[in-house]
């Protein structure tokens, strides 16, 4: 036992020394924290009745500890780190295709412009049936299979065999992997002669470069008013959020500040570099808009710079700071809170635990908040006034100036089942595979397609038949209720599969109630002005 005691003492001393060297004066007794944990792990590893996996036990202890702190502190293993960072880095390394799994087959929706696959002539509609001589179809093919086989380090190569409709033999390609961009902007287009639209899905390292390119495009098209769509945007880098808000606010205006027990207040202010400080501005949010999205919309709202339209945002106002662990993993530890310029905390309460915290969206639906704003009640202590005397609310999330309810009238069980069973994707993939050349011939430009293409009765009969085959019984009343959404979704997905995501959003913009309301608000000088300065 003397040797065991010696080893234990040595381990505790090394951990204690590391803690003091990194953090400075300890705030707790190490005998109750680091030394206690090290001792417990030592005893488990050396005296437990069966074999153990100490690394796994340590990992689980860290995960559970972070979970007990708040909903957003997190552990990321070294194996998961690269994948977790990809959306924020704005790129990954691979062959450069957008794909879908169709009947256990890898179907190329589109090659990434300028990527290695496009340069070799790989086309939308191609099916990858072999990878490095191995069959790439059947039950084993899932998203992980595709990622493992096709992604890889820049400069490495992968051999694929492709089936192309009309070709008797498979076409072999050797693709040299490269860095592939992950765009944070899904769509940029003009809604009418004056109003531009940008759909932003995340705040990454490349967002501002993309945003400036989008603004240049819209300005050249005559834009004087802008709708920025942040619905479903769960956030990203704080610095990117500050830069984006800076585009709309005057020099010196506070954008956001952060503060925590161990993090002194830090202010982030606008510079003189704003590119759209004048002109009507509407920012669209919903219950999926979080973090960086709330920083931008909160700053714009607090300075009476524009209108916030939609539904109450998610309410994530905790700042995570990454800390490296010895094995290459990291913890993203909450170190501060975000506050809007008027002093509102963006973070909603999480006192009842993580599980209930993440059930909040369901509770909003259940309580009617997504449909009726009257179901939302704020105490007087959470009311703030902007410089223009507009009332805004704290307590978590950003409450929009203009509430647009979730359209539950056309979302029937029949429509929901079509989405859940993947019928829309299956039908449009098959339709485009059979009719791609015909569509491109009849509609050489997307604008012709958007204006003139109709989902006809024959298409609808085929669509219903596929739904029946997938186990969705036809319901005449529910179909009629959802028919407009069904037809537009089919048309939009056909457009996406032939042209891209930008064109998908252009098609659905015709039936997007919130977007149509935003356009109407911009069109009325009186309504817009009164909403900002009541």
Tens digit of pLDDT for each residue in 192-205? Answer: 999 999 999 999 99
Residue 528 domain-assigned (yes or no)? no
Domain containing 68 equals 2-77
Cα gap 464→490, rounded to integer Å: 12
Torsion of the alpha carbons at 425, 429, 435 and 436, rounded to the nearest 10: 110
Q: Quick check: 208 pLDDT over 90? A: yes
Q: What angle do CA 251, 256, 260 make, to 5 degrees?
A: 140
Q: Tell whether 432 and 398 lie within a shared domain.
A: no
Average pLDDT estimate for 25-47: 85
- Whether the per-residue pLDDT at 235 is higher than 50: the answer is yes
Locate 428 and state its tokens.
Answer: 């449009």
* Residue 304 sits in the same domain as residue 177: no
Q: Is 363 exposed, middle or buried (0-12, 13-18, 19+ CB in 10 A)?
A: exposed
Buried residues in 283-294 as b, exposed as e (16+ CB within 10 A): bbbbbebbbbbb
For 377-389, letters b (16+ CB in 10 Å) and e give: eeeeeeeeebeee
pLDDT of the residue at 29:
84
Please tell me the number of Cα atoms within 13 Å of 117 on its side-chain side.
28
Best CA proximity match to 96, nearest among 119, 129, 126, 128: 119
Tens-digit pLDDT profile for residues 345-364: 999 988 888 888 888 877 88
C-alpha 235/C-alpha 347 separation (Å) is: 13
Which pLDDT value is given to residue 90?
Answer: 67
Domain CATH for 366:
3.90.226.10
Q: Are residues 265 and 342 in the same domain?
A: yes
- Cα gap 443→18, rounded to integer Å: 67
Let me know: does 253 contact 312? Beta carbons within 8 Å.
no
269 shares a domain with 327:
yes
Helices 525-532 and 513-523, axial angle in degrees (round to 10): 100
Residue in 210, 180, 183 with CA at minimum distance from that of residue 94: 180
Tell me how far apart the alpha carbons of residues 225 and 306 are, in angstroms, rounded to a whole number.
10
pLDDT, one tens digit per residue, over 273-317 is 999 999 999 999 999 999 999 999 999 999 999 999 999 999 999
**pLDDT, averaged across the chain:** 88
Of 77, 104, 129, the residue at which a domain comes to its end is 77
Instruction: Based on the fold, state whether residues 363 and 402 are members of the same structural domain.
Output: yes
Whether residue 377 sits in one domain with residue 322: yes
Residue from 241, 434, 263, 423 nearest 340 by CA: 241
Burial of 463 (0-12, 13-18, 19+ CB in 10 A): buried
- Say whether pLDDT at 530 is over 50: yes
Query: For residue range 442-474, what is the model confidence (pLDDT) as tens digits?
Result: 999 999 999 999 999 999 999 999 999 999 999
In sequence order, which residues have a C-beta less than 8 Å from that of residue 315 and are 6 or more positions away?
A: 290, 294, 346, 347, 348, 360, 396, 397
Evaluate whether residue 96 is within a structural domain.
yes
Phi, psi of 105 (to 5 degrees): -130, 145
What is the CATH classification number for the domain harbouring 100?
Answer: 2.30.42.10
Residue 328, classed as helix, strand or coil, is: coil
Task: State yes or no: pLDDT of 9 exceeds 90.
Answer: no
**Any domain includes 323:** yes
| CA angle in degrees (0–180, nearest 5) for 130-132-138 | 35
The domain boundary, picked from 356, 385, 406, lies at: 406
Report the catalytic residues. 291, 302, 316
Q: How many domains does the chain have?
A: 4
125/14 same-domain check = no
* 91 band by pLDDT with thresholds 50, 70 and 90: low
- 196 and 285 fall within a common domain: yes
- 226 in the same domain as 341: yes
With 60 as the cut, is the pLDDT of residue 2 above it? no
Q: Is residue 31 part of a domain?
A: yes
For residue 110, the model assigns a pLDDT of 78
Examine the domain organization and report whether 495 and 399 are in the same domain: no
Query: Which runs of E-coded beta strand occur in 112-212?
Result: 127-131, 134-135, 157-163, 171-176, 178-181, 185-190, 195-200
C-alpha span between 272 and 36 (Å, rounded)? 53
Domain assignment present for residue 513? The answer is: no
- Asked whether residue 134 is assigned to any structural domain, the reply reads yes
Q: Is pLDDT above 80 for 83?
A: no
Q: Which of 472, 500, 471 is nearest to 486 (CA)?
A: 472
- DSSP characters for 58-114? HHHHHHHHHHHH-SS-EEE-HHHHHHHHHHHHTEEEE--EEEEEETTEEEEEEEPTT
pLDDT of 62 reads 93
Q: Is 506 domain-assigned?
A: no
Give yes or no: residues 349 and 329 share one domain: yes
CA distances from 304 to 130, 194, 247, 295, 341 (A): 57, 21, 14, 14, 11
Rounded distance between C-alpha atoms, residue 52 and residue 156, angstroms: 38
Q: What share of the chain in percent tops pLDDT 90? A: 64
Same domain, 225 and 194: yes
> Pick from 406, 438, 466: which residue ends a domain?
406
Within a domain: 271? yes
């Amino acid at each position: 036992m003397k040797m065991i005691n010696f080893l234990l003492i040595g381990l505790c001393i090394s951990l204690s020394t590391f803690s003091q060297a990194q953090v400075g004066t300890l705030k707790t007794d190490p005998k109750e924290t680091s030394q206690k944990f090290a001792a417990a792990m030592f005893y488990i590893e050396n005296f437990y009745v069966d074999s153990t996996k100490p690394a796994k036990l340590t990992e689980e202890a860290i995960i559970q500890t972070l979970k007990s702190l708040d909903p957003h502190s997190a552990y990321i293993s070294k194996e998961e780190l690269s994948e977790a960072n990809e959306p924020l880095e704005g790129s990954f390394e691979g062959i450069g295709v957008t794909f879908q799994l169709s009947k256990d087959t890898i179907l190329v929706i589109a090659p990434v412009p300028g990527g290695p696959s496009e340069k070799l002539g790989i086309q939308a509609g191609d099916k990858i049936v072999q990878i490095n001589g191995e069959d790439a179809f059947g039950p084993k093919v899932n998203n992980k299979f595709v990622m493992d086989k096709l992604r890889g380090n820049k400069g490495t190569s992968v051999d694929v065999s492709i089936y192309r409709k009309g070709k008797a033999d498979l076409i072999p390609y050797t693709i040299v992997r490269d860095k592939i961009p992950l765009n944070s902007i899904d769509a940029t287009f003009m809604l009418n002669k004056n109003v531009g639209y940008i759909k932003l899905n995340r705040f990454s390292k490349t967002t501002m470069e993309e945003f400036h390119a989008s603004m240049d495009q819209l300005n050249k098209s005559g834009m004087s008013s802008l709708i920025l769509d942040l619905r479903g945007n769960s956030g990203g880098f704080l610095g990117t959020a500050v830069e984006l808000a800076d585009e709309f606010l005057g020099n010196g205006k506070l954008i956001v500040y952060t503060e925590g027990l161990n993090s002194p207040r830090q202010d982030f202010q606008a510079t003189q570099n704003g590119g759209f400080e004048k002109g009507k501005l509407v920012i669209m949010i919903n219950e999926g808009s979080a973090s960086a999205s709330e920083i931008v919309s909160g700053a714009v709202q607090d300075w009476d710079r524009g209108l916030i339209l939609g539904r109450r945002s998610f309410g994530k106002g905790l700042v995570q700071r990454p800390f490296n662990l010895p094995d290459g993993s990291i913890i993203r530890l909450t170190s501060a809170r975000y506050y809007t310029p008027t002093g509102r905390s963006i973070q909603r309460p999480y006192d009842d635990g993580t599980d209930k915290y993440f059930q909040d969206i369901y509770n909003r639906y259940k309580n009617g908040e997504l449909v009726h704003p009257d179901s939302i009640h704020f105490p007087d202590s959470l009311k703030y006034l902007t410089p223009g005397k507009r009332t805004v609310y704290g307590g978590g999330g950003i409450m929009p100036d203009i509430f647009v309810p979730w359209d539950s009238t056309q979302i029937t069980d029949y429509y929901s089942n079509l989405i859940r069973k993947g019928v829309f994707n299956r039908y449009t993939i098959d339709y485009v595979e059979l009719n791609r050349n015909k569509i491109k011939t009849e509609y050489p430009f997307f604008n012709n397609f958007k204006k003139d293409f109709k989902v006809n009765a024959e298409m609808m009969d085929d669509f219903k038949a596929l739904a029946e085959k997938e186990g969705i019984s036809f319901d005449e009343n529910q179909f009629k209720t959802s028919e407009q959404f069904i037809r537009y979704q089919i048309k939009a997905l056909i457009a996406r599969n032939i042209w891209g995501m930008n064109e998908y959003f252009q098609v659905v913009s015709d039936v997007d109630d919130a977007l149509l309301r935003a356009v109407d608000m911009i069109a009325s000088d009186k309504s817009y002005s009164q909403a900002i300065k009541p």
